[in-house]
Amino acid sequence: MTRNDPRVPAITALVASTLGLVFSSYSTFDYTAHLDRQIHAIHCSFIPGASASSDLENPCRAAMYSPYSAILRDKLWGGVPISLFGMGAFAFFVGFSLYLLLVGPRATRMAQWFFAATSVTPLLASIVMFFISLLRLGAFCKLCVGIYVSSVGLAVAGVLVARAALAEQKAEAQGAPPARARGSAVHPVAWLAALGAAALLPATAYASSVPDYRPYLASCGKLAVATEPHNALVKIATKRPVQPVTMFVDPLCPTCKALHERLVGEGVFEQLDVQASLFPLDNECNWMLDRPLHAGACVLAKAVLCGGPRSREVLEWAYSKQEELRIVGKTGNAPLKAAVVKQFGAELGTCMETRATQLRLNQHLQYAVANHVPVSTPQVFLGEKRLCDEDTDLGLRYTLGQLAPEVLP
């Protein structure tokens, strides 16, 4: 097979669309597995068939929980994952590229141009998702990258087909006999309809079978003690607070960071009247652990407490520098405190050292005990109702829409 072999674009398209189908199927089935509201291992590898990962902090999980992984999130719990559309579209392109491969040079000009035009549609979607991953998520999930690469492959095949068609048309314009039949103009319409149907079919099957989640939404308990008796909790400033929310958070917890980013990304955070109860998963101050899960979290929790009106700024700084601070935290408290002082000044550093701050942090932890919250972060209470963990990620928008629609933009 040579470079100019007319089968090259079709084979390229077949391989690319098959890979795209495999990657988008993994992504889809990982998503559907989570519809039971449990945490499952998810696939996150460039190698199709590689074992799934239980790591809670891998980029594929972050992408799955992000607001960008699904549409209609406020209508259906978890929304409709966009990978479903990719899966259907790639299935169509597998069929069409197989057709192009088998029909070879007898494919019509219409078929050529239809393929050339539509083969870039997965790439356009991939470009959008690429920039979302880059700019919003700050990480690339390998399955997503697999889909991006497949989309590029498919688009390359489309370009090759278009180039061949142009060359043939140019030759024909110079008097050469037509290389192939033009084909009926009806066919592209039919193919386009078939592409649309293929893209929509899995999503329709999915949406029509999603269970009713409403009975589960308020099933995770409530605050036993609504008000912290010492007024020790931290008020997080927002622009239009309309719904009281109590959040148990750890500044070094990646899931807390992801939730914060989701709430901000969904445009919800500014409508929340947030009081934060710091719950560092670090046994230096938290007796509920026998070893530090997030070393240095107690130091940063004190920094947030001492932030006063800047508490949100301190917390968001800790989230934004989380990876770096987690590394520093493992080396000891002093360098971590130095990083805080460098960012927010010596006065805040002095405050962190006081007995009053230590006592206040302890009151936060005792508040967690009084409310019997699970020893994991984040924990979110909408008013007094506890949001189940799964309703703070995949089901966030749907749950808010059901329990507090006023916070949705």
Partner 1 sequence: MRPVAPTVIDPQPGAPAPAQNVRRAPEGPGGPPPQASKGTPPGPAIVGIAVGALLAAGLSLGVRSSVHAAGVRLASPAVVAEKQAVAIADHAEAPYCTPAFKTVLQRVLNSCGLVGGDSARRGCQPADVKTFASISDADFNALFTPLKDRGAVIMFDEGSEKLDDEAKKLLEDKWQERKGARYFFVVARASKTGSPDNNRALSHKRANSVMFDLNEQFHDPDLDKQVGLLWLGNEFAQLGRDYCDWPSSRPGKTCNAEAINRSAFVSWVDCRL
Window 247-286: residues binding partner 1 (CB under 8 A)? 279
Q: 354 — phi, psi (to 5°)?
A: -75, 155
What is each CA distance from 225 to 246, 273, 276, 385, in whole angstroms? 11, 18, 14, 12
373 binds partner 1 (CB under 8 A): yes
Among the listed residues 44, 63, 91, 314, the single contact to partner 1 using CB under 8 A: 91
With contact defined as beta carbons under 8 Å apart, do 316 and 308 qualify?
no
CA distance 325 to 340: 10
With contact defined as beta carbons under 8 Å apart, do 182 and 109 qualify?
yes
C-alpha closest to that of 305 among 234, 373, 242, 367: 234
Nearest distance from C-beta of residue 182 to partner 1, angstroms: 7
Among the listed residues 42, 129, 162, 365, the single contact to partner 1 using CB under 8 A: 365
Among the listed residues 53, 362, 401, 402, the single contact to partner 1 using CB under 8 A: 362
Nearer to partner 1, 325 or 395 (CB): 395
Residue with tokens 């972050």: 62
Kindly state the tokens that stand for 153: 């492959």
369 binds partner 1 (CB under 8 A): yes
Question: Quick one: which segment of 32-40, 61-69, 138-146, 315-323 binds partner 1 (CB under 8 A)?
Answer: 32-40
102 binds partner 1 (CB under 8 A): yes
49 binds partner 1 (CB under 8 A): no
71 binds partner 1 (CB under 8 A): no
Window 341-360: residues binding partner 1 (CB under 8 A)? 355, 358-359
92 binds partner 1 (CB under 8 A): yes
HSE-CB of 246 using CA atoms within 13 angstroms: 23
How many residues belong to the site for partner 1 (CB under 8 A)?
A: 76
C-alpha closest to that of 27 among 77, 76, 86: 86
Among the listed residues 94, 157, 252, 306, the single contact to partner 1 using CB under 8 A: 94
Phi-psi region of 37 (alpha: psi -120 to 50; beta: other; left: phi over 0): left
Window 107-146: residues binding partner 1 (CB under 8 A)? 107-108, 110-111
291 binds partner 1 (CB under 8 A): no
